[in-house]
Amino acid sequence: MTHITLIRHGQANSGAKDEASYDRLSELGHDQAGWLGGYLQESDTHHMRLFTGTLRRHIETADSMAIGLEPQRDARLNELEYFTMAQLMEEQHSIGFPTEQGQFTNHLPLLFQYWKDGKIEGAPETWDQFHTRVNDALAEIAAGDGPALVVTSGGLISMAMSQAMLLDIPAMARLALAIMHTSMHRLFPIGGHLSPVLFNAVPHLDMPARRIAQTHI
């Protein structure tokens, strides 16, 4: 078993309200990814493999990182469909989509709870299906040969961390809301289990000229 470094994609279309419109990097998102790739190369960080989901923002992030590893695509590393489920929750339960950034702190854990409880009819996948695909994909990557980078999304990273730490839904939602674009999160094998040893690290953005690029949305 080897360690995995999860990376959230660069900033996407933050003004979107549906899955398709959101799924592309902003100009800043490309910059964030390029800075991360430069940091990984300059620090001589040792990774042998690169994985991404199949979403456009994952692929664009890996391309802009330009670290010289051929990416392996895996749809199990794709994000949960937040916009789709938020629309369904609004239609079925009259819970409106957030209209300002602060409202996400209440909306996200509520959506997670409704989803887990099976109260969102017609969801693209069940909570248990999401839980299983994240666990299975990361277990397979960890069982492979050599340290791996995984470019994915914030919801998947928060699920992976919650699985490792046995967190409840409010804690998982707080993790998801905290995750910055192109941040790194490491799972390291300890006693036969993947344990978190790094969370939300952005050394490539931790300098005065780039701190404005430490974005969440």
Structure tokens at 142: 């960890």
Please write the tens of the pLDDT for every residue from 53-63: 999 999 999 99
Q: What is the dihedral of CA 27, 29, 32, 33, to 10 degrees?
A: -110
The tens digit of pLDDT for each residue in 11-31 reads 998 777 788 889 999 999 999
Share of the chain above pLDDT 70, in %: 100
Q: Residue with structure tokens 């003004």?
A: 15
pLDDT tens, 134-158?
A: 999 999 999 999 999 999 999 999 9
Instruction: Select from 177, 174, 168 the least CA-distant residue to 113.
Output: 168
pLDDT of amino acid 17: 76
Q: What confidence score (pLDDT) does residue 99 get?
A: 82
* Stretch 27-47: mean pLDDT: 94
Mean pLDDT score across all residues of the chain: 95
For domain 4-142+153-183, the CATH superfamily is: Phosphoglycerate mutase-like (3.40.50.1240)
Domain ranges of the chain: 4-142+153-183
**Tokens 């999860």 identify what position?**
6
Residues 6+ apart with CB under 8 A from 157: 6, 8, 175, 176, 179, 185
pTM (2 decimals)?
0.95
